[in-house]
Amino acid sequence: MFDNLTDRLTGIFSRLQGKGRLTEKDIDDALGQVRRSLLEADVNFRVAREFVATVKERALSGEVLESLSPGQQVVKIVHEELTDVLSAGDHRLTPASQLPSVLMLVGLQGSGKTTTAAKLALHMKRQQHSAMLIAADLRRPAAIAQLQTLGNQLDIPVYSEDPGSSTPAQVATAGVRRAAELALTWAIVDTGGRLHIDDELMAELEEVKRAVSPHQTILVVDSMTGQDAVNAAEEFHRRVGLDGLVLSKMDGDARGGAALSITRVTGVPIKFVGTGERNDALEQFHPDRMASRILAMGDVLTLIERAQEAVDEEKARELERKMRTASFTLDDFLDQIQGVQKMGGLASVMEMMPGLGRQSKKMQGQLDESELKKTEAIIRSMTMEERDKPDIIKGSRRRRIALGSGTNPADVNRVLNQFKQTQRLMRQFSNNPKGLMRMLR
Ligand code: GDP
């Protein structure tokens, strides 16, 4: 996400920071470039114009120009103003006091509504909140079956009825009643969509909304559609009334214009962003963290949260014990690799690391997922004894492992070296935990 914009902005600001003292003209030129970059990223032109005007006003104050690091001050202002552009009301999703809290999901067909319903249910489950999915999308023939499949996969109950004999409002009402009987925290109502906004769809959604009085009405928009997503959000907000937005397919949107415009234009907060097709590819939205990511300053907090979700607590505690006693084995190494894969792969992890954001694209080729898969195959081709005592892996064992994993002996050596490095790191950590924290900072 935001690949091109991040490249452009970091380029502009590194030139600015390279200058030492700044003149008004330097700032003017740089902000002219920022404005063009925003427009190229498909940001709404009014939003881009106002953004640049605000930054300029603040940047031209004597305080910035006379400071010792004016370039850094400008970046700080840009970060604050980006955060402001992305902020509106409450970005969190909190349940109401009554059971269940009703969340009604609306959106155009293909926006990712049904997928998002399942992602949200999983997110709630991970927060120890119970949820039910209600299949009130009676327009798309496969929508009910799709929701049932997703519910089965995630072990989340799905309420559905025969589409021939009930209306969406009836299904939604009965589903919410069922969720109340089961005393569930959330009832997520998946509603119908169309390819374009039309009166019939809006009337149907209004009827469902009247029937179940949702605590949260959330629109899913496809971020890849750029300004069309913003227009759709305006129209849905006007007709149905929205409490929040989910921007789907941010993984495929290299420009980011919709994300940067939608809240300023509609006044509705983004609550989540979808970052892939998997059920766990949903991130809570935090304006300040997103601004940091756009400026390639990293997003360590989201990274830590993802790690907490990907690695189960039991394993984390075990790993911690092994670090303390320095008994980290190749099997643990394998666990770690799988953890990274669960966290969305190396590229997406690197995107969130401070200072690595811009490199993640370049590194993708060298450190891509296939490399991780290779490492996994190599470790899996080792016997238990070899995993326990990797020092015994020499000539013929090395050849056998290479053959078994479809790699060559040099690859096996590389994995063993990586493992030794990691093990050394663990030893250092066990001797000096503060040292590792310093390294991470
Ligand atoms: P609906 O018609 O709005 O219910 O749309 P679906 O939930 O069926 O999603 C349409 C397509 O978009 C499916 O192929 C999904 O896998 C895909 N999709 C949904 N969300 C995301 C996302 O965040 N990233 C990516 N890459 N694909 C997504």
pLDDT value of position 20? 75
Same domain, 292 and 309: no
pLDDT-derived band at 410 (thresholds 50, 70, 90) equals: very high
Determine the distance separating the centroid of ligand 1 and the alpha carbon of 291, expressed in angstroms: 25
Min mean pLDDT across 198-212, 244-258, 305-319 is at 305-319
177 in a structural domain: yes
Do 430 and 422 touch, CB atoms closer than 8 A? Answer: no
> Could you tell me if the CB of 193 is within 6 A of ligand 1?
yes
Dist CA 14 CA 375 (whole Å): 37
pLDDT-derived band at 311 (thresholds 50, 70, 90) equals: low
The reported pTM is 0.74
Same domain, 286 and 159: yes
Using DSSP, state whether 128 is helix, strand or coil.
Answer: coil
Which amino acid is present at 440?
L
96 in a structural domain: no
> Looking at residue 265, which CATH number applies to its domain?
3.40.50.300
Q: Given 244, 273, 297, which residue is the final one in a domain?
A: 297
User: Residue with the nearest Cα to atom 9 of ligand 1?
Assistant: 112
> Could you tell me if the CB of 109 is within 6 A of ligand 1?
yes
What average pLDDT does range 19-46 have in this prediction? 92
Same domain, 291 and 154: yes
Domain count, the chain: 3
What average pLDDT does range 161-165 have in this prediction? 87
What average pLDDT does range 106-115 have in this prediction? 94
> Could you tell me if the CB of 192 is within 6 A of ligand 1?
no
Range of the domain at 329: 303-440
pLDDT-derived band at 355 (thresholds 50, 70, 90) equals: low
User: Residue 437 pLDDT more than 50?
Assistant: no
**Region of residue 268 (left: phi > 0; alpha: psi -120 to 50; beta: else):** beta
What average pLDDT does range 234-248 have in this prediction? 96
What average pLDDT does range 148-164 have in this prediction? 94
User: Residue 165 pLDDT more than 90?
Assistant: no
> Looking at residue 67, which CATH number applies to its domain?
1.20.120.140
Determine the distance separating the centroid of ligand 1 and the alpha carbon of 387, expressed in angstroms: 41
Token output for 87: 């902020």
Same domain, 391 and 376: yes
429 in a structural domain: yes
User: Residue with the nearest Cα to atom 28 of ligand 1?
Assistant: 277
Determine the distance separating the centroid of ligand 1 and the alpha carbon of 276, expressed in angstroms: 8
User: Residue with the nearest Cα to atom 20 of ligand 1?
Assistant: 112
Q: Which residues contact 436 (CB under 8 A, 6 or more apart)?
A: 425, 428, 429
Nearest ligand 1 atom to alpha carbon 190: 4
Same domain, 427 and 288: no
Q: Given 279, 297, 315, which residue is the final one in a domain?
A: 297
Does an H or E element contain 15, and which? Answer: helix 3-17
Q: Given 35, 52, 86, which residue is the final one in a domain?
A: 86
Among 114, 118, 101, which Cα is nearest to 187's?
101
95 in a structural domain: no
Same domain, 291 and 377: no
Dist CA 366 CA 360 (whole Å): 10
Does an H or E element contain 245, and which? Answer: strand 244-248
What average pLDDT does range 247-264 have in this prediction? 91
Token output for 421: 């490095």
User: Residue with the nearest Cα to atom 26 of ligand 1?
Assistant: 276
> C-alpha distances in angstroms, 57 versus 8, 39, 95, 214, 418?
22, 20, 40, 42, 50
pLDDT value of position 431? 57
What average pLDDT does range 251-261 have in this prediction? 88
Determine the distance separating the centroid of ligand 1 and the alpha carbon of 114, expressed in angstroms: 7
pLDDT value of position 433? 46
Dist CA 284 CA 255 (whole Å): 20
131 in a structural domain: yes
Same domain, 308 and 291: no
Same domain, 172 and 217: yes
> Could you tell me if the CB of 119 is within 6 A of ligand 1?
no
Nearest ligand 1 atom to alpha carbon 248: 23
pLDDT-derived band at 314 (thresholds 50, 70, 90) equals: low
Determine the distance separating the centroid of ligand 1 and the alpha carbon of 418, expressed in angstroms: 37
404 in a structural domain: yes
What average pLDDT does range 142-154 have in this prediction? 94
Nearest ligand 1 atom to alpha carbon 252: 26
pLDDT value of position 310? 63
> C-alpha distances in angstroms, 423 versus 326, 350, 419?
8, 21, 6
pLDDT in tens, 66-84: 777 788 888 889 999 999 9
pLDDT-derived band at 31 (thresholds 50, 70, 90) equals: very high
Does an H or E element contain 32, and which? Answer: helix 24-40
User: Residue with the nearest Cα to atom 16 of ligand 1?
Assistant: 277
Same domain, 160 and 283: yes
Same domain, 317 and 418: yes
Angle, CA 112 vertex, CA 97 and CA 7 arms, to 5°? 105
Same domain, 23 and 171: no
Nearest ligand 1 atom to alpha carbon 281: 23
Does an H or E element contain 291, and which? Answer: helix 287-294
Q: In a mutational test of the pocket of ligand 1, which residue from 105, 111, 114, 115 has the highest number of ligand atoms less than 8 Å from its CB?
A: 115
Which amino acid is present at 52?
V
pLDDT value of position 434? 46
Determine the distance separating the centroid of ligand 1 and the alpha carbon of 248, expressed in angstroms: 7
Dist CA 22 CA 164 (whole Å): 69
- What does the DSSP 8-state code read for residue 269? P
- Which residue, chain included where needed, has tokens 């056998």? 400
How high is the mean pLDDT of the chain?
Answer: 85
Determine the distance separating the centroid of ligand 1 and the alpha carbon of 113, expressed in angstroms: 7
Q: Report percent pLDDT > 90 for the chain.
A: 55
Does an H or E element contain 71, and which? Answer: helix 70-86
ipTM: 0.98
User: Residue 402 pLDDT more than 80?
Assistant: yes
Nearest ligand 1 atom to alpha carbon 250: 23
> Could you tell me if the CB of 113 is within 6 A of ligand 1?
yes
Nearest ligand 1 atom to alpha carbon 273: 23
Same domain, 49 and 106: no
Distance between the two ends of the chain, CA-based, in angstroms?
24
Q: In a mutational test of the pocket of ligand 1, which residue from 248, 282, 348 has the highest number of ligand atoms less than 8 Å from its CB?
A: 248
User: Residue with the nearest Cα to atom 12 of ligand 1?
Assistant: 112
92 in a structural domain: no
Does an H or E element contain 132, and which? Answer: strand 131-136
235 in a structural domain: yes
Dist CA 9 CA 108 (whole Å): 32
| Burial category of 258 from C-beta neighbours within 10 Å (exposed 0-12, middle 13-18, buried 19 and up) | buried
